[in-house]
Amino acid sequence: MARYAFIWELGGAYGHLGRMIPVARALQQRGHEVVFIIRELVEAERLLGPHGFKWYQAPLWVGRVMNLPDPLSLPELLMGVGFLDPPALLGMCRAWRNLLAALQVDALLFDYAPTAVLASRGLGLPGINLANGFQVPPATRPLPPLRWWQKPPPPARLLDSEQQVLSVANQVLYELGAPPVEGVLDILSGGADVFATFAALDHYPGRVGGHFVGPIYALGRGEAVHWPPKGALKVFAYLKPDYGGLDALLAVLAGLDARVLVHIPGVAKRTVEKFSSDHLWISRQPLDIEQARHGCDVAVLHAGVSTVCAMLLAGKPLLLFPQQLEQTMFARGVEALGAAVVIPEAAAGQFPRLVKRALADATLQAAAQAFAASHAGFDQVDAIRAVADRCEALLVPV
């Protein structure tokens, strides 16, 4: 029996645990042990506890980096989480090493965990990188810009940013007595990369190669879906309480002739009281995604990979309201397929017009159904098995 550490450091929401838990359960069924080192503990008791997993708080960057411009690349994102501060980054890496040593693990699975990847370098622990596409860009020099739909940034800036991150990382590795990294991809990827998404929905259009197994989104838990009694269209929404356009969007949904079911984790009581009616219900608890995706007519989401993929596989059109850059990149790719309309938060004043126009667009449903038909053979059980097999292969002597 082997002991694996499943590590999540950056990013939020259910997507990371949603990818990792099914794989961990598959390894558990094969007789292995999995411990989780994760960013957020809020949902750990509910999501990890029932399966008997142990979990630990990930060492995280809690400092503030002032006056950084909007990031144009993943190296520039790393600058905001410690990769401009050698002493602070060294302290985090030592914390990671101390934790891994105390847990006595045999292998690692990373899900957006660049500091953990750096810290584990030279320890002799094999690793696999379970990504949604965003975290590991194509191996170009410089690494590709994040806002690929805009005017390309100056290559000199991208190269300079990479060099700054590499310099700090290699200072830390020197202090740790670990081998240096040659490129930022050595920090972003802790071993073989497995992409839990579809190539057609890759955050970086045009990527050549890559091991895509398809989305993994079955948390295995969720409240039963009960639709409000009044309304014609069935609308499922998964929104975040800190979304700046939340009230404006809920007001639009409340005004539709629809049975609207909304999941908002940690939503304020006053929001529930303000918008709840006999045709709009709000749930703080996660809902059964299988029931939701097969029962709804349309989904309203922020553009998290797993939930979007689940809806597309059910042939459901999407209204996407991205909350941050990663979601914007992904949403634009889905929009390019014709299965979604992307509405930015800055357009909150136009939500009524934009939402109603999108709901009237029959081409969205046709494109979503075409996507579902083209991926009809996909079964996430196969994806879970493929990742679990890769994890076991880490421990096979070469």
Taking only the tens place, the pLDDT of each residue in 190-205 is 778 999 999 999 999 8
User: Which of 5-9, 49-53, 72-76, 219-223 is predicted least confidently?
Assistant: 219-223
Confidence of residue 398 (pLDDT cuts 50, 70, 90): low
Confidence of residue 219 (pLDDT cuts 50, 70, 90): low
Calculate mean pLDDT across residues 380-398: 92
Calculate mean pLDDT across residues 93-105: 98
Q: What are phi and psi of 316, to 5 degrees?
A: -100, 130
Calculate mean pLDDT across residues 295-312: 95
CA contacts within 13 A on the Cβ side of 1: 10
Residue 45: how many other CB atoms lie within 10 Å = 10
What's the pLDDT score for residue 12?
A: 81
SS (H, E, C) the chain: CCEEEEEECCCCCCHHHHHHHHHHHHHHHCCCEEEEEECCCCCHHHHCHHHCCEEEECCCCCCCCCCCCCCCCHHHHHHCCCCCCHHHHHHHHHHHHHHHHHHCCCEEEEECCHHHHHHHCCCCCCEEEEECCCCCCCCCCCCCCCCCCCCCCCHHHHHHHHHHHHHHHHHHHHHHCCCCCCCCHHHHCCCEEEECCCHHHCCCCCCCCCCECCCCCCCCCCECCCCCCCCCEEEEEECCCCCCCHHHHHHHHHCCCEEEEEECCCCCHHHHHHHCECCEEEECCCECHHHHHHHCCEEEECCCHHHHHHHHHCCCCEEECCCCHHHHHHHHHHHHCCCEEECCHHHHHHHHHHHHHHHCCHHHHHHHHHHHHHCCCCCHHHHHHHHHHHHHHCCCCC
Question: What Cα–Cα distance (Å) separates residue 377 from each residue in 69, 195, 371, 381, 382?
Answer: 44, 18, 12, 11, 10
Percent of the chain predicted with pLDDT > 90: 87
Q: CA torsion sign, 265 to 271 to 277 to 280?
A: negative
What's the pLDDT score for residue 103?
A: 98
Fold exhibited by the domain 233-374 = Rossmann fold (3.40.50)
What's the pLDDT score for residue 211?
A: 94
For residue 33, the one-letter residue type is: E
Q: What are phi and psi of 325, to 5 degrees?
A: -60, -45
Calculate mean pLDDT across residues 374-382: 95
For residues 223 and 118, which has the higher predicted lDDT (pLDDT)?
118
User: Which of 31-35, 105-109, 284-288, 385-389 is predicted least confidently?
Assistant: 284-288
Residue 148 has pLDDT above 90, yes or no: no
Dihedral angle of Cα 282, 287, 292, 293, to the nearest 10 degrees: 120
320 with 302: CB under 8 angstroms? yes
Cα(84)–Cα(382) distance, rounded to whole angstroms?
A: 40
What's the pLDDT score for residue 317?
A: 96
Judge whether 3-214+380-393 and 233-374 match in fold: yes
Average pLDDT over the chain reads 94
What's the pLDDT score for residue 227?
A: 97
Cα(239)–Cα(360) distance, rounded to whole angstroms?
A: 22
Calculate mean pLDDT across residues 172-192: 94
Taking only the tens place, the pLDDT of each residue in 113-138 is 999 999 999 999 999 999 999 999 99
Calculate mean pLDDT across residues 138-147: 92
Map tokens 């299988």 to a residue.
290
What's the pLDDT score for residue 394?
A: 94
Calculate mean pLDDT across residues 256-268: 95
Q: What are phi and psi of 341, to 5 degrees?
A: -115, 130
Domain limits of the chain?
3-214+380-393, 233-374
What's the pLDDT score for residue 65?
A: 86
Residue 97 has pLDDT above 80, yes or no: yes
Q: CA torsion sign, 95 to 31 to 387 to 383?
A: negative
Residue 386 has pLDDT above 60, yes or no: yes
Fold exhibited by the domain 3-214+380-393 = Rossmann fold (3.40.50)
Calculate mean pLDDT across residues 309-316: 96
What's the pLDDT score for residue 64?
A: 86
Calculate mean pLDDT across residues 328-340: 95
Confidence of residue 221 (pLDDT cuts 50, 70, 90): low
What's the pLDDT score for residue 220?
A: 55
Confidence of residue 145 (pLDDT cuts 50, 70, 90): very high
What's the pLDDT score for residue 101?
A: 98
